[in-house]
Structure 1
Amino acid sequence: MIELSRKQIRIDGEPRVVMAGEVHYFRVARDEWEQRLDLCVEAGLTAVASYIPWIFHELPDGSIDVEGRTRPERDVAAFVDLCAERGLMFVARPGPFVMAELKNEGIPHRVYREHPEVVPSGWDGAPTTSSTVDYLQPAFLEETARWYAAVMPLLAPRLQPNGGNVVAVQLDNEVGMLAWVTNTPDLTDHLVEHLGRWARERHGGSGPYPVEPGAEGWTQAVRSPEEAWAGALRRDLGEFMRVRFADYVGALRTMAEEHGVVDVPFLVNIHGTEGGSGQPFPIGISQLVSTYSGVPGMVSGSDHYMGEATLSTMSDLYVINAFMDAVHDEDQPLTSLEFEAGSGDYGAGAEMQYDPSTTDLKTRLCLAQGNRLVNYYLFAGGINPMLDEPVGDGNDRLSFTGERHGTAAPVGPEGQRGFAFDATRRTIEAVRANEPWLAVMDEEHDDVELGLVLDAYATEYHHPGSDLMTDAVTDLAAHRGAGQRRALVRSLLMAGYRFGAVHLEERSPRAGSVLVLGAGRYLARAVQERVLAHAEAGGGVLLLGPAPVLDLDGTPCTVLVDALGIEPGEVDRDTGHHYPSVVARGWAAPWPEMRVGWRQELTASRGDVVLTDVYGVVCGVDVPVGSGRVVLLAAELPSSRELFARAVERLGASPGVSTRTPWPGVLTTTTASADGQRALHVINLSGAAMPVEVTVDGQVLAGGPLQVPARSGHLLPLGLGIGGVRVVGGTGEVAGVEDGAIRFRPLLGVGDGPGHVDLAAGTPVRPDDAYTLGEGPEGCVRVTPVDPAAPLTVHLG
């Protein structure tokens, strides 16, 4: 039995962290399957995931082979069963779209030839430039039903509740992504007609449009909008597509359930990273939120490719996890269905090579934020087979990558251990050793929440000829989420703040908390009203960006600035010969003068000035409103732990964990379980060893600065129940528990001396030449290793 409860994944009642690796059976010769799976076991994985590509299993005559009749690699059940023989769970990803660098993203060529009506046209009727389809076209659904009728009966008897090893099934892949990246909405006649019905219900008639939705002229009004209704159409199209995608995923789920695939989680893969950045990721959440948010049995999973673990990418990853959780219900856990693994050399041309620590550092951050399933993509590479029917596209293979695939993977295309294999194996070993508490712990948060405005990410469609649409998308994309230059999130993380996010279209921040929000000139009236109400009721608001003065459709909306008594003025921008610089005033000072990309003049009728340019033009104010306060910083500020921490503290929230380091590069957070277990997570992203003084709840951890090695992560006990013993504190991560002994990785040193482990008072510890025993705080048994560089094994009893 698989249960999703309290953001945990429980398998037969046991909370688990599922560590999976993507292995594409269709890219590996049948007689090599076992070797690849043996490497999965060697690496410590507990599960294997794989796409099941329709394009690979459909034959030129339109028949479908999933039993291996025409080639042995098509025997899906045999691969799943081989995983089971090795104790590996299986995550099935049957599409219909699978992407995976396959031709047509995994859809057979025949579908497009026989059903041209499924192929969308975009703005002005222009043909789409991708392999996307109108998902709800009856012809596409009928073809998909035929595919599901072939593959789902193989999975049903192998589901975990039926005694098998299939623990989850992903429905489609990256739904809506192709339309987003090409700015080509799926404007088939079928979709535009559906949009018309939806718009009539929303507006009760023609609303902002020149004709009644669905009437003559409606299709032209949608495909080639004029400025008079372009803003409303952009807003409506984003909201409507959420409904349409939900209908599509719901139809897929019904098809799967009709073939007996029930009682396991259905997964939805969320796309959104672009060009090594995670900042656009919530576009995927915005598109797909209605497919899974609050829907029983549905779970979303992240899909992120951001390269090296740096302060920028880790800030993005922190936001990704926080925003995903913000739209989940109380039971839905975080998962990652495509967690970038390997060296980064995807083109086999030695263009890049990530540090081997990258996977480890990213994994640790995600697990600290509550991820319960991580699927390393790609874990094993392979060889792309030839298409059964040549199409003359330059290589006639299944994939557009050529012959070899997965050159960056921990296991290479020919089954060799790759550059990142050993580092990935060590990461998985660390997770497995700490799974009992990672599976049940949640991140502790300070009284701070990051504002999620999903409508600020409904920017996937804008007519290139519309100035209004383009202006709205440009403004929203520049200021949302972590704030320009990631200044909001990166600064607070460096200052030690631990925070989640609040979905502002759906709920208000916690009473009395500090809301931090990156926003631009476009901010929906309902959100402005909610932010204002939070402050009036005694909460704090830190707003970074230009003053909001427009609703999402471009109509004036000054609810927030009017209540604050602020009149926004001109924006002064950085140019090649003009360098706006700002300085802090009042409680924000002292702070060094900083050059900024822009600053906006603010005229405030009350409150305190906290930021000006060098000539005294005000661009930052602290304004009382009701029982609370709003701090508006209207400038493109760099990250600054000092400035932003002062602002949040001024608004009423202090970090429960704080760090002192000689330079930036260390992230810390804490997790806790319902039964009182607790841990500190320390991640050093820098390339240098770092002395880190960590204060938790007002107490300096371990009595001095921890000596944290370069590019390393550590889970340190603050009260863990291990092997019947309570580890009260210490500077070592658990490496394993055996009968009568607890193993720790080499302990972090403290100051100029060795680290230690503190066990609960009265714990019987057998003497050993490898450590000395002493008394720790509150009578604890303190164990100190003789050799600080060696792993520590503490013998009990």
Structure 2
Amino acid sequence: MIDIKNEKVMINGHERMLYGGELHYFRVPREEWRNRIQKIKEAGCNMISTYIPWIWHEQEEGKIDLTGYTRAERDLNSFLKLLYEENVYCLVRPGPYVMAELKQEGLPDWVLDKYPEVIARKQDGQIHPTKVVSYMHPKFLELVSKWYKAVCEIIEPYQITKGGPIIMFQLDNEVGMLQWVTNQADYSDITLNYFRDYLIDEYKSLDNLKEKFRVNVSSFEEFAFEYTLNQEENYALPLHYEWGYFMRNYYKKYINKLKEIAEGYGIEVPFVVNIHGFTTHDLSKRGIAYPIGISQLHDTAEIDKVVLAGDYYIGNVNYDNYHDIIIANAFTKAVQSDKQPLFSAEFQGGCISDIPRLQPSAFDLNTRICVAHGMNGLNYYMFAGGENYEDIGLFGRRHEWQAPLSSKGEEREHYYKIKYLGKMFRIFEKEILSTKKATQTYLGFYPDYYMTEYFNEYTKDMVNKITAYRDHFGFNGVIRGLTVANISYEGYNLLKESEILVDKIPSLWVLTTDWMSADIQMKLLRYIKNGGKLVLFPTVPTKDFDGKDCTILLDGIDIEFKDRLHVRHELNVKGMDSVVVSYSESYQGDNIETIAVREKDKTEDITAFSKYVGDGKVVVFGVGMEFDFHYKKQVILDIAEEIELKPLVDKTDNFLEVVIREDENSKKFVFIHNYDEYARKTKITYKGQLLFDGNEIMIPPRSGVMLPINCLVYDDIVVNYSTLEIFDIIKDNKAVTLLIKTFGQGEILLTSKKYLPLNYDEIWENEDGYSYKVTIDSTDEVFKLILANRENIS
């Protein structure tokens, strides 16, 4: 059985950290399947994921091969049987869309050739440039149902609920992505009919519709078709957002329909919905656009038994982009069900091309960062390279993907990084899952600011401005500053609840633009008055999304705008001079405490301030500031101090990232990440307490460490602390050997009644047994700490 609860996956009553790899049976010779499965297992993985491409199994309508009678590599049944024999979990992904670098994104040619009516249409009636289908077209759903019936007959008996390996079933893939990347929605008659019905449900009467959009129409039908296809400036802004809300609802209907079809054919396990959005910028990758995918699929999180999962492709991790991963974690968690763990169904295991050339450190750091920040499940995509047989590949025959295993099964360098981490996560699995990221504040996620997948001549100015604010002043500005300053945050979905509870969200940082809906402005104002501490940046909204004046926050805070400056200039922030910014706005009002002023006039042009409102406090940082100079970290710390926040962790090296996962008692994992090309060292203080007995910790170049505090490692052996990383255990009847990665001198403190280190520096007895302090100073890469079973010591 499988259950999703408490941010964990429970399988047959046991908590499991999913550590998986993508293996495409249809790209690997049938006789080599077991070899790849075993190599993935040897890397510490407990799950294998695979797409099941419709294009591969039904090349002619009605002739579906899932047992290999036309070609051995189509024998899905035997592949699933191998997974069962090898005792590894499985995530199946049968589409209908799979992407997976396949032609037609995995749809058979005949679907589009024989049934062109299912293809989405542009506003002018022409075929969509990607030939993506209208998801809810009855004919398409009929064809999908036939495909699901066939594939589910194979999948159904292999579910974990039937004693098999399959623990999850993905519904479609990256829904909405093709529409977003082409700036082209689906305006087919089928979709517009759904839009009409949506409008009727939303507005009830035609008069309400007319008032909202300031149009004179004779029917909902006329507006849904004529006015949507031939937009005019006077209603373009409200229609932009109404269409976006409709599409969220439409995608939810589609996913829910697929779920109903699958359940009708016997699927009982949880369902996965995969979110898209990491993008390539020249030779680097960023997560700046990833929240667009979260916004598109926002409403699917409401579907029962659905697990949201993200695509994480960050490229080579460095000091300048690592925050994108952390923000992606925070925003995904903000939207997903409270029960589910953070999970990435496509976690960077390589890259489709050989540019950029990914370094082993990229996989090491990316994994460490995500687990540190709360991820309890990930699946490396791809884990094994392969070949596109029978001309199904979008990029030709080869599908190497810079994967840990080549198409020939050869182990590449990053295979060993993944294997190392897999071993470490396995020995501490239960302990890791019992901890959560230590969080001190929250970052507001406003999905409507990411409803920018489409724009036209009338809405592009608004879309461009919102995009510029969230990218430059959010991702690359204050939010990056919070990350670098080691102020630990989680995400909070501003759409999720009617009230923001102060005891749950004591402080909140919200990126704002000129536009914000009246209900969200009112919700934030109530939050302040009820005792919340709110930071707004880089502006205070003055309009709603219809373009109408809406100054609820401005009026509630009781301040006025003076002016706005859109050129590079300098500020004085809490006495720090020459803080260079690209935008600021000045305010005036009573009872405000000045935080920042423009250098040219330190007495009048107040660009940031704090003010008590009701029982709470607001900080308005009316500054467009990118985090492009390290001195700006002090600006972030100054703002944080205004709401009584200081970093949870103090460190003697400020260029290291330190993250804590802890339980409600004394158990902790301390994650330390070094993004530089040379070793760094630090002492760590957490909540005023010096950790690791004050020992200095050395961090290797472009890597990290996961250090346990008061964690059970085996039997009754508790690691009270270790300044070196314990990554594996060797066990026999006489002794337990801890394998420890050495990098400089280290120290480990252990407690056990049953086991005794063969060498130790100090020993003392306590109520839990005996505590042993062991100093490790070895030139070997791995130190073996042997603990003998006392029963075998004469």
Same-fold call, TM cutoff 0.5: yes
- CA gap 1:126/1:622 in 2 versus in 1, 3 angstroms: farther
Post-superposition CA distance 1:689-744 (Å, at most 9, x none): 11223111211222143221111221112211222122222212332343543514
Name the residue aligned to 1:297: 305
**For residues 229 and 39 of structure 2, what CA distance do their matches in structure 1 show?**
52
Task: Note closer, same or farther for the CA distance 1:646–1:509 as it changes in structure 2 (3 Å cut).
Answer: farther
Q: Which runs of 4+ in 1 moved over 4 A?
A: 762-765, 774-780
122-131 or 357-366, which deviates more:
122-131
Partner of 2:582: 597
Structure 2 distance, partners of 1:163, 1:157, is 8
Alignment correspondent of 1:166: 166
Aligned length: 761
Do structure 1's residue 100 and structure 2's residue 100 form an aligned pair? yes
Residue aligning to 1:319 = 327
Q: CA deviation at 1:497?
A: 2.0
Instruction: Give the C-alpha shift of residue 4 in structure 1.
Output: 0.8
1:410 to partner: Cα distance: 1.1
Partner residue of 1:719? Answer: 710
* Contact 1:15 1:440 (C-alpha < 8 Å) held by counterparts: no
Question: Which deviations, in whole Å up to 9, do the C-alpha atoms of 1:305-355 show, x marking residues without a partner?
Answer: 12111234321111111112112333112110000113x4x324xx32222
Deviations 1:428-470 (A, max 9, x none): 2222232121233221211x1110111111111222x21xx21
Identity %: 29
2:254 maps to which residue?
Answer: 248
For the residues of structure 1 that align with 2:224 and 2:407, how far apart are their CA atoms?
51
CA distance in 2, matches of 1:707, 1:592: 35
* Amino acid in the other structure paired with 2:738: R
1:743 paired with 2:738, answer: yes
Does residue 1:381 correspond to 2:385, yes or no?
yes
* Aligned position for 1:390: none
State whether structure 2 residue 272 is matched by structure 1 residue 282.
no
Match of 1:220 in 2: 226
**Alpha-carbon separation, structure 1, partners of 2:47 and 2:474:** 38
Matches within 5 A, 1:131-530: 131-204=131-204, 205=206, 206-207=209-210, 208-209=212-213, 210=215, 211=217, 214-216=220-222, 218-262=224-268, 264-275=269-280, 276-293=285-302, 295-342=303-350, 344=351, 346-348=352-354, 351-386=355-390, 397-446=391-440, 448-463=441-456, 465-466=457-458, 469-480=459-470, 483-507=473-497, 508-511=500-503, 513-530=506-523
What are the superposed Cα offsets for residues 746-782 of structure 1, whole Å, 9 maximum, x if unpaired? Answer: 3565xxxx3211224x75663535x533569999532
Q: Is contact 1:437-1:673 (8 Å) kept?
A: no
Change (3 A) 1:637 1:315: same
Measure the CA separation in 2 of the matches of 1:660 and 1:179: 48
CA distance in 1, matches of 2:276, 2:529: 37
Q: Does structure 2 retain, via aligned residues, the 8 Å contact 1:539–1:628?
A: yes
Counterpart of 2:7 in structure 1: which amino acid? K
Structure 2: gaps of 5 or more residues: none
Deviations 1:54-89 (A, max 9, x none): 011112354211111111111111111122222222
Q: 2:600 maps to what in 1? A: 615
Q: Is the 2:582–2:624 Cα contact (8 Å) retained in structure 1?
A: yes
Unaligned runs of 5+ in 1: 387-396
Per the TM alignment, residue 635 of structure 1 is displaced from its structure 2 partner at its CA by 2.0
**Distance in 1 (alpha carbons) for counterparts of 2:463 and 2:111:** 34
- For 1:426, the aligned partner's letter is Y
Tell me, in whole angstroms, the C-alpha distance in 1 between the residues paired with 2:228 and 2:651.
Answer: 53
Contact 1:199 1:213 in 2 (8 A): no
Task: Indicate the SS of the match to 1:480.
Answer: helix
Q: Deviations over 1:573-615 (max 9, x none)?
A: 33xxxx322221xxx33x3523222222333444122122221
Q: State TM-score, norm by structure 2.
A: 0.91
Q: 2:543: which partner in 1?
A: 550
Residues 384 and 406 of structure 2 are in contact (CA less than 8 Å); yes or no, is this contact kept in structure 1?
yes
For residue 215 of structure 1, what is the amino acid of its counterpart? E
Which residue of the other structure, out of 773, 785, 794, is the alignment partner of 2:762? 773
Residue 279 of structure 2 aligns to a residue whose secondary structure is coil
- In 1, the alpha carbon distance for the partners of 2:432 and 2:4 equals 15
Which residue in the other structure is 2:618 paired with?
A: 630
> What secondary structure, in the 3-state scheme, does the structure 1 residue paired with 2:406 have?
coil
Paired with 1:759 and 1:602, the residues of 2 have a C-alpha distance of: 58
Question: Are the counterparts in 1 of residues 252 and 297 from structure 2 also a CA contact under 8 Å?
Answer: yes
What is the rounded CA distance, in whole Å, between the counterparts of 1:548 and 1:220 in structure 2? 32
Asked whether the equivalents of residues 547 and 568 of structure 1 are also in contact (C-alpha less than 8 Å), the reply is no
In the aligned structure 2, how far is the partner of 1:213 from the partner of 1:683? 60
Query: Matched residues in 2 for 1:61 and 1:149: separation?
Result: 14
Residue identity matched to 1:278: G
RMSD: 2.3
Asked if 1:734 is matched to 2:706, the reply is no
Normalization by structure 1: what TM-score?
A: 0.91
- Output the CA distance in 2 between the equivalents of 1:437 and 1:360: 20
| Conserved 8 A contact 1:679-1:716 | yes
